[in-house]
Structure 1
């Protein structure tokens, strides 16, 4: 079934206001109510129709608050007759819907409920908005009489009157509930009385205070039930004398001040149900209705016993506070005073409460003369702006001598123009001494930093530079600036260790430490005015006491002179090695010919000497080869030809090359099964590393033991090759320098094992040039296991490319 075209609706602002008015009555989707059903019955009876509706039209539907002769509770607004009714004034009538082009195709006409006749009167709110209709419907064409139309309009007005009464009743119920909630939530006891002083209701606090339930007191006289009659009689006599007329000793005693336009507040003692008297502060207020007619009284009773208990608790708490709690009433042009002082006044000022009850002079006199003027100025300023007051000053204490105190208070303006301060004064002498010591230490640290020959730079957790000592300013030619970390290298002239390549910003040691890394001996250069200063940087993150990172610091050492000396050493070694190599090669070859007998038979007494000379010339050649390798590595001149290749053939080749040498010292080398691993290496350089490790293992292995060689995959996807011996292990004092040049555990002239001390240093450089790392595991007396790790084939990026 297709719906007809949308029914025109009023302008958007007018329609929104109408919908708001409809919602204000809070009647949509509420249950059926007999009063509304009576009106639809009357409308149907007067108009002679089988259907009558009270319809409310919202944004999308018409909803029926009451319906007679119709089963549905709502229909779409788009097809409703009532939408046309609320757009006009007065009764809207359709005698025959089938002949009306607006409704002829309406589903409500062509189908159930087969509407032929419709008449509706708008339900208009007090502010002029049509909220819905009272309508009558018939399944036969017809027309209302003038009397029926008038009756329909009158009934429509009665519907609106019911709406208004219902809304007022709802609001009244809410107010009653709110008043009762306020009454029950009041901290003080509250009793409501009628005009004659009889109790009409009371809250829970009153029940708890007096021991009575509400049922016990309602209907009873307030004064006859809860007041001592002697006290009422005394008060009545006083009031009678003051006013010159007789005041009865009853409820009139309580409300007499109200009749004179005064405030009815006084301390009384009420009778508890158990017979004891309860001290209260009683306040009585009149209750007037909307016509200002007196309807009763509100009697509020504040429990003074509870207040006394609270004051006792306050004194007990104040006694535990390390200092003096106070209330200070400041009157700029009158006598100021302390309404409250805790017992801590003696510890702070050496005074008692009686000495300063009426004057602040003794306290002012105790203040150090140099602090008095600024103390008064700070009080005046805080009193003027009503801002929290905080002031530290010195006190001449009669027993303790000169002490430091800290005063804090919050000022509040009073109705009489004075300022009431609530505050605390504490002794901070110890804290001041600690602060002075801390300041002294910080000043000493600052001077030490400025005097250091190393450059020290620090930043906070956001990467803002916070420290630049004098050396750092001298080296960089700049001070700390507000810069993002990515601009540090360019602004501060940072270069890589070669002194010519700009340092990438993410490699700056300070930034690495800010990311949580511990940086050690990172070499770089600072290029200032064309001169490179080589430095070694150590950087660490900084942490606050709560464990959160608060920044980072870097310390840079000048290694320019060391780099210059190293360069001279390398040049010297290179020159000497090249100069020695040619004659030494000739000497070695000549000795080999002589020792082999090629040049003729050698006398026995010379053979041993010639063998020794031949062996030592070989050792000297090896030393020169190692020196030249080291020189090439440090100068970056050694070429590497990297290629991806299986690891096992490389290990097998190392085994064959070193087996004979190993058998001179031990039983030999045992190669375990090697997984099918592939690595990207320079095969010749890898053989050099393996020979160094295997020859070292052979020299330190006991006779009859095996050297173990194997490879395995690590958890991080790398390849580890290990060489283990069963020798004496690595001494604790030798471990830190084992990979340094010329490092030997036994450097004496009588050491048993030969070697140049360069093999491990060369191995370390070779492995690191192939993107690997080298290390060892050892326990004294239990042998040593040297290992190196290389990237697996999957982690390689290039194959067969040479790197220089």
Structure 2
């Protein structure tokens, strides 16, 4: 069984911003570039080092954009010297890594490339984030002089400028490609001209519209190639009169209005290559550079012939829409009309388009009398505020009877002050009936929730409490409050299972479920007015139909009566155990003296009975000790004397203490790898755990096998101690309760192996009291490997 892993802490905001700044340059994992290699060559030459790197540090590694004297492309961030550089300000220098406590155990120092000297200058972005370093490395201790330090700093600034230039070049290329893509994909014909009207670019739509290829049009005067001369002459005459000056019948006909501050959209009939006319809606815009100098024009020609096809297409689409599509015009003087109505008007209102085209009156007459004023008021409000209009109301249909409709439209103010609406009206009678049925179902669900004996609480994705049934209100002493989740434990009296320790916000089951966890049978307490209510919490995230999480729910089941019975049972067991311990100790000691023949020779026919009595008295003593230990642990009365001490001697002592027991089962114990670390534990309690694991392993191992005890680092400051056997393994049915009290894989009266079933439960409590975690890995028939993990620290050489 795999151990559960803790969720890593989120990165601080400053680090997230730094990573965002790094990603903005789009340089990670790009190919080598000679421009950057020049800088590493120069840095190595100036600083006289065999290794020089341009290093970029992301969330888990340092990656080398350029490297000299090193073969690898990246190394883990936790091993990198550059992490210290980016976390500081200015040049970071390590004269001798083997003498520096931060680096002397670093694999890059103890092994290849055997770093002794390091100097790094941060690559700082314009907004102040250290993205990486320019660093030089030597395999000998040394120190840079002031000139070399200054040169390294200046080179790092130049590299940052190179980053900026590279990013800017990419942006320019992207913009150029985007502009070309927009031009090529435009639905209108687009022609780019020089300032004097010669064509310099044509998009594919223009080629199709006018029948010319781009090569045929490039360099040609626009008006000579595509405009009829008589049409240019007529427009030049009209413009001359409007502007009060003569206009040449050429390109000036198109540009003259722009110089007067007017931007015209005008219909023209341009020339196709085959001599036919092409009706277009023409628009021209000037192109200026960053210094506002005129560089040319963009001429856009929209195909009006295509518009006729679009109108036909719109009618075909409208015929497929369930409901009525419309345009409605409301004028300032109160008049109204319908510029467009789809055929759905008869289905919705039982009217023809001819009947309602002049005004809204016939439609208004079909609205149910109780809804008319509300509909009219909502239309007036939307018209005055130019906000989207939405309204559900009833219609008296001449054939269908009373129906419900949903009307929605978007109002747009026109140049003459009128309001033009584009909208849709659909029949929602069936949906309304379904909604009514859904409302009934929701009311039934609400009543069921209120009648439950369990407390049910739910919240939405924003941590707003949305459900608090009657039982929850009674148990917590109040209804749902609109408060921050950080206040929930205090306001709702939430405590741990002991009824004394307040819950932290991140431990609240509802919030854990909102983070995606599934909580099962978590014991907790609600302490209201000093009276504890013990409950089991089951919580789950809730999801919408699209799979998006939209909240969480928790169900609380009252186990107060069960807990009180457990407390009585525990008190009874504790009392009986204490009362039995003293006389049983005397009995065991007396039997030991008799069996050891201290009191004289024992008749042979009594020896076997006395030995059996002695062994069973010792087993009974062990059971009572286990009962007392588990009682102390659950009552919080067991004292722990925690102190830092080396791990290996503790393992060696456990091996010595349990070797004899193992030999009695024809099994040996072997201590294998153990890192040089110290742990902060109660030595006696740790030995109790190890003895339990080792004795279990020996007990279940076949004769002649070896129990392996070892330790290894699973994180820089966490060590795992394992005890592995080659016994029958853990069955699937026993896995979930293996650390429970009185748990036995074989609970029959004839089981081969003895034991109280408390050893692993006690071990789990002891390890967790020492800030550790315990678990096991096993396959049935292939042995079991029990392990526990504890925080650790590396031993210094003096301690070793």
Shared fold by TM > 0.5? Answer: yes
Name 2:227's counterpart in structure 1: 213
| 1:324-377 CA distance string (max 9 Å, x none) | 211335689999654321133355446553555567677567656665564455
> For residues 585 and 485 of structure 1, do their structure 2 counterparts lie closer, same or farther at Cα, with a shift above 3 Å needed?
same
Is the 1:724–1:786 contact (alpha carbons within 8 Å) kept by the matching residues of 2?
yes
Name 1:738's counterpart in structure 2: 738
Is the 2:327–2:420 contact (alpha carbons within 8 Å) kept by the matching residues of 1?
yes
> For residues 735 and 378 of structure 1, do their structure 2 counterparts lie closer, same or farther at Cα, with a shift above 3 Å needed?
same
> For residues 703 and 380 of structure 1, do their structure 2 counterparts lie closer, same or farther at Cα, with a shift above 3 Å needed?
same
1:775 Cα offset (Å): 0.4
Name 2:774's counterpart in structure 1: 774
Task: Find the aligned partners of 1:402 and 1:567 in 2 and give their Cα distance.
Answer: 67
SS of residue matched to 2:659: helix
| Residue 785, structure 1, aligned to residue 785, structure 2 | yes
Name 1:194's counterpart in structure 2: none
Name 1:664's counterpart in structure 2: 664
**Alpha-carbon RMSD:** 4.7
Task: Find the aligned partners of 2:470 and 2:595 in 1 and give their Cα distance.
Answer: 67
> For residues 321 and 794 of structure 1, do their structure 2 counterparts lie closer, same or farther at Cα, with a shift above 3 Å needed?
farther
Is the 1:210–1:271 contact (alpha carbons within 8 Å) kept by the matching residues of 2?
no
Is the 2:641–2:681 contact (alpha carbons within 8 Å) kept by the matching residues of 1?
yes
Name 1:68's counterpart in structure 2: none
Alignment of 1:574-653 (within 5 A): 574-599=574-599, 601-653=601-653
> For residues 580 and 341 of structure 1, do their structure 2 counterparts lie closer, same or farther at Cα, with a shift above 3 Å needed?
same
- Name the count of aligned residue pairs: 538
State TM-score, norm by structure 2: 0.57
Task: Find the aligned partners of 2:712 and 2:412 in 1 and give their Cα distance.
Answer: 79
SS of residue matched to 2:715: coil
| 1:112-153 CA distance string (max 9 Å, x none) | xxxxxxxxxxxxxxxxxxxxxxxxxxxxxxxxxxxxxxxxxx
Is the 1:269–1:277 contact (alpha carbons within 8 Å) kept by the matching residues of 2?
no
SS of residue matched to 1:730: coil
Is the 1:729–1:779 contact (alpha carbons within 8 Å) kept by the matching residues of 2?
yes
SS of residue matched to 1:714: strand
SS of residue matched to 2:325: strand
Is the 1:534–1:563 contact (alpha carbons within 8 Å) kept by the matching residues of 2?
yes
| 1:452-507 CA distance string (max 9 Å, x none) | 33333444555544443322221222223333444444433344544445555565
Task: Find the aligned partners of 2:663 and 2:486 in 1 and give their Cα distance.
Answer: 58
Task: Find the aligned partners of 1:619 and 1:355 in 2 and give their Cα distance.
Answer: 102
Is the 2:677–2:795 contact (alpha carbons within 8 Å) kept by the matching residues of 1?
no
Is the 1:519–1:540 contact (alpha carbons within 8 Å) kept by the matching residues of 2?
yes
Is the 1:338–1:357 contact (alpha carbons within 8 Å) kept by the matching residues of 2?
yes
Alignment of 1:361-760 (within 5 A): 363=363, 371=371, 374-379=374-379, 382=382, 387-395=387-395, 404-411=404-411, 420-429=420-429, 431-432=431-432, 435-436=435-436, 438-460=438-460, 463-503=463-503, 507-510=507-510, 523-538=523-538, 553-599=553-599, 601-760=601-760
1:416 Cα offset (Å): 9.4
Is the 2:667–2:698 contact (alpha carbons within 8 Å) kept by the matching residues of 1?
no
Task: Find the aligned partners of 1:346 and 1:762 in 2 and give their Cα distance.
Answer: 80
Q: Structure 2 unaligned segments of length 5 or more: list them.
A: 1-193, 199-220, 238-266, 282-300
| 1:409-445 CA distance string (max 9 Å, x none) | 2456789998654321124455545544554454444
1:590 Cα offset (Å): 3.3
Is the 1:523–1:534 contact (alpha carbons within 8 Å) kept by the matching residues of 2?
yes
Task: Find the aligned partners of 1:358 and 1:210 in 2 and give their Cα distance.
Answer: 47
Task: Find the aligned partners of 1:654 and 1:508 in 2 and give their Cα distance.
Answer: 40
1:704 Cα offset (Å): 2.4
> For residues 602 and 430 of structure 1, do their structure 2 counterparts lie closer, same or farther at Cα, with a shift above 3 Å needed?
farther
Alignment of 1:43-82 (within 5 A): none
Is the 1:209–1:303 contact (alpha carbons within 8 Å) kept by the matching residues of 2?
no
1:753 Cα offset (Å): 1.3
Name 1:105's counterpart in structure 2: none
Look at both structures and tell me which one has the larger radius of gyration over its CA atoms: 1
1:786 Cα offset (Å): 0.5
| 1:260-316 CA distance string (max 9 Å, x none) | xxxxxxxx99998978789999xxxxxxxxxxxxxxxxxxx9998566444323323
Task: Find the aligned partners of 2:314 and 2:690 in 1 and give their Cα distance.
Answer: 83
> For residues 705 and 342 of structure 1, do their structure 2 counterparts lie closer, same or farther at Cα, with a shift above 3 Å needed?
same
Task: Find the aligned partners of 1:795 and 1:476 in 2 and give their Cα distance.
Answer: 51
Task: Find the aligned partners of 2:233 and 2:656 in 1 and give their Cα distance.
Answer: 118
> For residues 221 and 360 of structure 1, do their structure 2 counterparts lie closer, same or farther at Cα, with a shift above 3 Å needed?
closer
Is the 2:270–2:280 contact (alpha carbons within 8 Å) kept by the matching residues of 1?
no
Q: Structure 1 unaligned segments of length 5 or more: list them.
A: 1-176, 182-206, 224-267, 282-300, 800-804
Is the 2:534–2:563 contact (alpha carbons within 8 Å) kept by the matching residues of 1?
yes
Is the 1:460–1:550 contact (alpha carbons within 8 Å) kept by the matching residues of 2?
yes
State TM-score, norm by structure 1: 0.57
SS of residue matched to 1:424: strand
Task: Find the aligned partners of 1:208 and 1:346 in 2 and give their Cα distance.
Answer: 51
